[in-house]
């Protein structure tokens, strides 16, 4: 199932292991390591990274949306996500 993770970018949620907030120090280190190893996929379109999707392949996908917003999109609750993040 493809889910919009912001700004016209989509991820196959069947391949996602986890969705975590990007503000914790260990997650920031994970992002830097992924960038150094060329396994980071930046889908923020220049905006602040708010969450990270960890993929089965080991890649990490950076998103400018909150994890809650992605969860709402996954569940199809478009009305509850309005006002959280604007694209």
What is the per-residue pLDDT across 42-64, written as a single tens digit (0 to 9) for each? 999 999 999 999 999 999 999 99
* Structure confidence by residue, pLDDT tens digits, 2-22: 999 999 999 999 999 999 999
Token pair listed for 23: 């503000």
Helix (H) or strand (E) holding 29: helix 25-36
| Single pTM value for the model | 0.86
Q: Maximum CA pair distance of the chain?
A: 38
Separation between Cα atoms, residue 79 and residue 76, nearest integer Å: 9
CA atoms lying within 13 Å on the CB side of residue 14 = 2
């Amino acid at each position: 199932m493809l889910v919009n993770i912001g700004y016209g970018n989509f991820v196959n949620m069947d391949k996602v292991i986890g969705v975590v907030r990007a503000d914790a120090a260990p997650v920031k280190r994970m992002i830097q390591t992924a960038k150094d190893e060329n396994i980071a996929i930046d889908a923020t379109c220049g905006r602040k990274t708010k969450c990270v999707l960890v993929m089965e392949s080991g890649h990490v996908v950076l998103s400018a949306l909150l994890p809650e917003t992605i969860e709402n999109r996954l569940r199809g609750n478009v009305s509850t996500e309005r006002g959280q993040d604007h694209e």
